[in-house]
Amino acid sequence: MALDQASFESLLREHQAMVFSLAYHFFHNQAIAEDVAQEVFLKLYENLHRLESPAHVASWLRRTTTHRSIDYLRRGHVRPEVQLEELPETPDLPGAADPLLHERLRRLVASLPQIPRLVVLLRYGEDLDTGEIARVLKLPVRTVWSHLYRALALLREKAARYLGEEAV
Amino acid sequence: MSRLEDELRQALRRREPPAGFAERVLARAHPRESRRPSWFHWRWLAAAAALMVLVVGLYFFEERRRRLEGERAKQQVMLALHLTGSKLRLAQQRIQRFIGPGAAFQD
Amino acid sequence: MRYSIVTLLAAALPLGAQQITFPPALEKLSAKATQKVNISLDTSLLGFAGQLMSEKDPDEAIAKRLLSGLKAIHIRGFEFAKAGEYSQADVAAIREQFKGPGWNCFFTVEGKEQSTHICLHRQGDAITGLGLLAAEPTELTVVNIIGSIRPEDLATLSGKFGIPQIKGEVKTLLERKAAPAPKKE
C-alpha cells in the first residue's frame, strides 16, 4: 500500500508519542524533544514515497529519531552530557515508594553516554529486543548486549540507594 | 526481572507530546509542500520531461522526413523537366523531318 | 520562316491553368509497362523541392525560378516491351481534355504509329498550364504542368533539360516581354 501525503496526518497522530518520548528521554528536555520530534516528522513527510507500508514507518521513525537526536547533540545545541559519576549524591528518601524515583531514573538515563542511553531507551522505553535494537542503531548484537550490561550496572550503582538494592 | 528494569520501564514509558504538537507539525509541513515539490510533483516533472523529449524527437523526425520528402520532390522535378524537354526535342525533330533538311531550324 | 517548338510555345497567347484527369484506363497500363514514371507534385511538394534547390547549380537555379510560379506537376510515362500494348482509345480521353475550355494545342503531329500534342492553357494574358501528350509505338508520355509560366522562364529554359535552344528573333521577342516598360518622363 503506497503512502502519500493524505496518510501523513494519521501516521503523525499514531506515532507522535513514540517519537516524542524517545527524544524526551534522550534529552530529558521537553523543548528540545519537541524540536527534534518535529524535525523527524517533517522528514517523514518528505520521504513518505520511499516507505513501503505503515509497519515500515514505525521502524523508520525510531531509526530517524535516534539519528536526529545524536545529530542534535553534535550540533552543540545541548550542553555536554553530565557524566553519571558527576551527579551529586541525593539525600536518602524514605521507602521504596519514592515519588521522585522515576524522575531520578530518567535523569540518570539521560546522563548516560549516547549509545548506551539509546540502548536503554529502546530496550525499556520501546520494549525492543537486542536484535531489533541492533538493527535500529546499526550495531552488532554483541555490542548492544555489552552496552546494555554496562549501562544497567552503572544505573544500578547510582540508583541502588533509591531502589533498595545492593550496589554491584 | 530486576526491580531496576521494572522501574526503568515505568520511568521511560511513552508520554504524549505537548498539546498542539501535531498541529504545529502539520503547519510546518504544508508551507514546505509549496516550497519543495513532493514526490508526486517530481513524477509529473519527470513525465513532462519525458514528454518534451518525445516531442523534440518527433519534431526532428518530422523535419528529417520533410527533408527527405523535399529531396525526393526535387529529384522528381528535375526528372519531370528532363522528360518534358526530351519530348519537346522529339517533337522538334519531327518538324525537321516533316519540313525537310533545307529549312533553318533553331537547335 | 524558322520554326521551333519553343518558338511556337513562346509566341502562343497566354492561356489559363487547367489540371487534366488521368483516366483509369491509363493507370491500368502500369501493369503492362516494363518501365513507368509516375510524378505528382502538388504546391507543398514543389515548395519543398524549391527550398532544397541550390542557386549555385545552374540547372537547379533555373528550375527554382520556374517552380516559383507553379502549382503542380503531373507526369505519367510508360515504356513497353513491344508495340501495341496501348490503344488510341487509351489516349483519346487525354486528347479530348486538351480540347476543353482555355486549352490551345498549338502543335499537333499525328501519324499512324505516333502522335504528339503540345498544348497551353491560359487565363487572360497569363499562361497557366502546359499539357504534352507524346504517343510512340513503345512509349506513352503525358505531362501536365499547372501554374504560371512566364515568357522569361521559357527563355532561361532554352537549351536546358533537353529543351531546344531559342535563338534570334524569338529570343529577342522574349527578352522584350521580360524587360520592364520604360518610364515616361
Q: Is C8 exposed, middle or buried (0-12, 13-18, 19+ CB in 10 A)?
A: middle
Domain assignment of residue C178, yes or no: no
User: Of C127, C21, C8, C148, which is closest to residue C74 (Cα–Cα)?
Assistant: C21
Residues A17, C157: Cα–Cα separation, whole Å: 94
Residues A114, A26: Cα–Cα separation, whole Å: 8
Residues in chain A: 168
Residues A70, A57: Cα–Cα separation, whole Å: 20
pLDDT for residue A99: 57
pLDDT for residue A121: 97
pLDDT for residue C132: 92
pLDDT for A166 beyond 50: no
Q: Which three cell numbers stand for residue C73?
A: 506537376
Q: Is the pTM of this model over 0.90?
A: no
A59-63, A93-97, B61-65, C54-58: lowest mean pLDDT where?
A93-97
Q: Do B28 and A156 touch (CB under 8 A)?
A: no
Domain assignment of residue C174, yes or no: no
CA distance B49 to chain A (A): 20
Q: Which residues pair with C135 in a beta bridge?
A: C115, C140
pLDDT for residue A96: 40
Helix (H) or strand (E) holding C41: strand C35-41
Chain C neighbors (3+ CB pairs < 8 Å) = B
CA distance B53 to chain A (A): 26
Chain A neighbors (3+ CB pairs < 8 Å) = B
Q: Do C162 and B82 touch (CB under 8 A)?
A: yes
Residue A104 contacts residue A122 (beta carbons within 8 Å): no
Chain C residues with beta carbon closer than 8 angstroms to that of B79: 37, 39
Residues C30, C32: Cα–Cα separation, whole Å: 5
The 3-state secondary structure of C110-170 reads ECCCCEEEEEEEEECCEEEEEEEEEEECCEEEEEEEEECCCHHHHHHHCCCCCCCCCCHHH
Residue C103 contacts residue C94 (beta carbons within 8 Å): no
Task: Give the CA dihedral A29, A31, A36, A39, nearest 10 degrees.
Answer: 170
Domain assignment of residue C172, yes or no: no
List Cβ neighbours of A26 (8 Å cut-off, separation of 6 or more). A33, A66, A69, A110, A117, A118, A121
Domain assignment of residue C33, yes or no: yes
Three-class DSSP category at C72: strand
Share of chain C above pLDDT 90, in %: 17
Chain B residues with beta carbon closer than 8 angstroms to that of C165: 106-107
Chain B residues with beta carbon closer than 8 angstroms to that of A48: 39
- Cell 499539357 belongs to C131
- Cell 550490561 belongs to A149
A93 pLDDT band (50/70/90 cuts)?
very low
Give A97-155 pLDDT, tens digit per residue.
Answer: 455 788 889 999 999 999 999 999 999 999 999 999 999 999 999 999 999 999 999 99
Domain assignment of residue C179, yes or no: no
Q: Which three cell numbers stand for residue A26?
A: 534522550
Domain assignment of residue C78, yes or no: yes
Chain A residues with beta carbon closer than 8 angstroms to that of B22: 9, 12-13, 16
pLDDT for C101 beyond 70: yes
Task: Write the CA distances from A38 to A19, B29, C62, integer angstroms.
Answer: 9, 9, 79
Q: Indicate the average pLDDT of chain C.
A: 78
ipTM of the complex: 0.82
What mean pLDDT is predicted for residues C163-182? 54
Domains for chain A: give ranges and CATH numbers: 5-74 (1.10.1740.10), 93-163 (1.10.10.10)
pLDDT for B107 beyond 80: no
Domain that holds residue C29: 5-164
Structural domain count, chain C = 1
Domain assignment of residue C112, yes or no: yes
Chain B neighbors (3+ CB pairs < 8 Å) = A, C
DSSP tag of C38: E
Of residues A4, A125, A152, nearest to B4 (C-beta): A152
Q: Do C51 and B70 touch (CB under 8 A)?
A: yes
Helix (H) or strand (E) holding A59: helix A54-74
Give A5-33 pLDDT, tens digit per residue.
Answer: 678 999 999 999 999 999 999 999 999 99
Domain assignment of residue C18, yes or no: yes
C41 pLDDT band (50/70/90 cuts)?
very high
**A17 and chain B in contact, CB less than 8 A:** yes
**B29 and chain A in contact, CB less than 8 A:** yes
